[in-house]
């Protein structure tokens, strides 16, 4: 059952990511990125990270992608045109990405035995302990980094407002 | 039962698609979206390893990556709006003031 879940949503994520690569209009790429993020949320859930699955849907596909779609609409971005610069990118891009993929999957598949399996039964029954453990860790041992991220968000908001403001 | 290696290979596939589209795409907004795709792929490996070790530290890493990604998206899109306002284009090949 979990293998079916993994296959369906993994293939959906890969197909949507390829669609992001192949579409020429930015709005189509943005919507396929939403599909990738929603399927990753399901995969997080199957790995026993319920909190992160919810946060992925709310933060990534909710907030960040709405921001992207908003900017695409605001700037009225049209289809991208091919230029002479993209020739070199094609030559460097596909072999480089293929090399990264081959190296990573070779390492992962050769260590397959040592990495072990994912069982669905031992995690999905205890949703509350997962949340409890994350929040205990976050609010006791990692309290200072957690508070520093709020300062980071504040600085980012100020920077965004200053950058996007109209010049006087 | 799914081997954890499958999740990691899926993350590798997503990461390399993100890297390829980062290099190939010419629209600055799409390039920014492929960075988000790469961040998501790395998040998947963090969650898979967290599950493997039965620890929550990996999930906390993902939480912080999400926070940083949100901040980065806000600032980056503001920069894109500023670039569009001055240069009237989203094509990265035409944004070459720093070249030469």
Q: What is the DSSP string of A29-76?
A: HHHHHHHHHHHHHHHHHHTT-HHHHHHIIIIIIIIIHHHHHHHHHHHT
Contacts of A119 in chain B (CB under 8 A): 1
Predicted ipTM > 0.85:
yes
Highest average pLDDT, of A64-78, A127-141, A148-162, B47-61, comes from: A148-162
Other Cβ atoms less than 10 A from the Cβ of A38: the count is 19
How far apart CA A93 and CA A43 sit, in angstroms, is 28
pLDDT at A122: 56
Please check the confidence at residue A127 and state whether its pLDDT lies above 60. Answer: no
Other Cβ atoms less than 10 A from the Cβ of B73: the count is 25
A contact residues 83-112, partner B, Cβ 8 Å cutoff: 83-86, 89-90, 92-94, 96-98, 100-101, 104-105, 108-109, 111-112
Do the Cβ atoms of A86 and B43 come within 8 Å? no
Q: Which domains does chain B have, with CATH numbers?
A: 4-94 (1.10.287.3510)
How far apart CA A59 and CA A98 sit, in angstroms, is 30
SS in 3 state form for A129-168? HHHHHHHHHHHHHCHHHHHHHHHHHHHHHHHHHHHHCCCC
How far apart CA A34 and CA A46 sit, in angstroms, is 19
Please check the confidence at residue A10 and state whether its pLDDT lies above 80. Answer: yes
Please check the confidence at residue A126 and state whether its pLDDT lies above 70. Answer: no
Does the pTM of the predicted model rise above 0.95? no
Residue A125 pLDDT grade (very low, low, confident, very high; cuts 50, 70, 90): low
Q: Give the pLDDT mean for A57-78.
A: 90
pLDDT at A128: 63
Per-residue pLDDT reduced to its tens digit, B73-95: 999 999 999 999 888 888 888 88
């Amino acid at each position: 059952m979990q293998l079916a879940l993994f296959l369906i949503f993994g293939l959906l994520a890969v197909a949507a990511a390829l669609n992001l690569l192949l579409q020429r209009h930015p709005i189509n790429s943005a919507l396929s990125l939403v599909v990738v993020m929603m399927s990753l949320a399901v995969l997080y859930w199957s790995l026993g990270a319920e909190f992160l699955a919810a946060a992925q849907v709310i933060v990534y596909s909710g907030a960040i992608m709405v921001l992207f779609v908003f900017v695409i609409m605001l700037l009225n971005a049209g289809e991208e045109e091919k230029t002479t610069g993209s020739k070199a990118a094609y030559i460097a891009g596909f072999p480089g990405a293929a090399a990264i993929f081959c190296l990573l999957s070779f390492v992962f598949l050769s260590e397959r035995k040592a990495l072990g399996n994912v069982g669905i039964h031992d995690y999905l029954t205890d949703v509350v302990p997962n949340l409890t453990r994350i929040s205990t860790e976050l609010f006791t041992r990692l309290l200072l980094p957690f508070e520093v991220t709020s300062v980071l968000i504040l600085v980012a908001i100020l920077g965004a407002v200053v950058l996007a403001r109209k010049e006087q | 039962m799914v081997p954890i290696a499958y999740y990691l290979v899926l993350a590798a596939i997503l990461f390399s698609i993100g890297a390829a589209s980062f290099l190939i795409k010419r629209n600055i907004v799409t390039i920014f979206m492929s960075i988000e795709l790469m961040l998501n792929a790395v998040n998947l490996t963090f969650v898979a390893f967290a599950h493997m070790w039965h620890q929550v530290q990996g999930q906390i890493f993902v939480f912080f990556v999400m926070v940083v990604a949100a901040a980065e998206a806000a600032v980056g899109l503001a920069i894109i709006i500023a670039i569009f306002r001055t240069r009237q284009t989203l094509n990265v090949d035409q944004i070459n003031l720093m070249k030469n």
